[in-house]
Amino acid sequence: MIVVTGAAGFIGSYLTAFLNQKGYTDLLLVDKGSYLKDSKNLEGKQWADTMDRNDFIPWFKQHADQIDFVFHIGARTDTTEFDEKIFQKLNIDYSKEIWKVCSKSNIGLVYASSAATYGLGELGYKDDHEIIEDLAPLNPYGRSKNDFDIWALKQPSQPPFWCGLKFFNVYGPNEYHKGRMASVIWHAYQQIASSGKMKLFKSHNPNYKDGEQQRDFIYVHDLVKVCFWMMENRPENGLYNLGSGKARTFRDLVESTFKAMDKAVDISFIPTPEDIRDKYQYFTEADMSKLIAAGYDKPFTSLEEGVEDYVKHYLSSHSYY
């Protein structure tokens, strides 16, 4: 049996569907009970059982022999949440318990880390274990992810295979419920559909023109392919970046969205709120050399192709994967 935590969420539900397509239906889906019950993300998916996240750890400790692999995708991901206790409980302590059981019972583990660990990118975006303790995340969410990465690397007792995947800017189907935390593409689609226009933040950095702030955007389908590849191939344990490996501008993203919606481009710019200006990332780009060296050779979807697929096959019809 394979465990997927955060199974009712954006990435977890997409991974569940992907596993189904690969022939895996003996799945234990873990999430907040109400999410599992009411999530449209899980409609049409197949699994063996579901479990509330609060019940899972005690159950796992007693029934680890039933589990073959764990995808720990669940986490508190709200970058505007500043209650450190929430992140300590859900992102650090919970993950430690999963790690300990996997280590004791020889169960493989893939868990979600984050590119938020890199902060402003002062040390670059290379998944080098030597720099992890020197990274300076910009918010409690990023710190919680980095704190767990640091802890994991120091553990003498480890799962037989484990990797922490540093997700960059993920977009794609099944994120309807995320609201303000949904991808920029989702927000762009909503704005363009309602007004025919899109507003982006101005640049307050002389090195970047308005709209030319850059991010590494990765289509969720590419992301879950890597997760699945990790389970099947089990390369060297450790942290791995998971982006497209190519930074693109917000203007590129929004123009692609207008094109996919068959609408004329109409972009304007508004000031970046002062309370986030000093924490605003102007550039992120995953160094993907480690994953490639580990043997992963599948191409990543271009921004234009990903946006077109997402808009035309999902957003326009409010469809799920």
d(CA 28, CA 136): 35
User: For the chain, give me the number of helices (H) and strands (E)?
Assistant: 12, 13
3-state secondary structure of 110: strand
Residues acting as catalytic residues: 141, 178
Two tokens at 304?
A: 């234009």
- Would you mind telling me the total number of residues written for the chain in this entry? 321
Q: Give the integer Cα–Cα distance in Å for 285 and 253.
A: 15
Q: Which of 183, 140, 138 is closest to 278 using CA atoms?
A: 138
Q: How many angstroms separate the most distant Cα atoms in the chain?
A: 58
In angstroms, the CA 266 to CA 116 distance is 30
Q: How far apart are CA 119 and CA 282, in angstroms?
A: 11
- What is d(CA 199, CA 267) in angstroms, rounded to the nearest whole number? 6
Q: How far apart are the first and last CA of the chain?
A: 22
Q: Which residues, in sequence order, are CB contacts of 85 under 8 Å at separation 6+?
A: none
Contact (CB, 8 A) for 188 and 267: no
249 forms beta bridges with: 214
298: how many CB neighbours lie within 10 A of its CB? 8
Calpha distance 76→92 (Å, rounded): 10
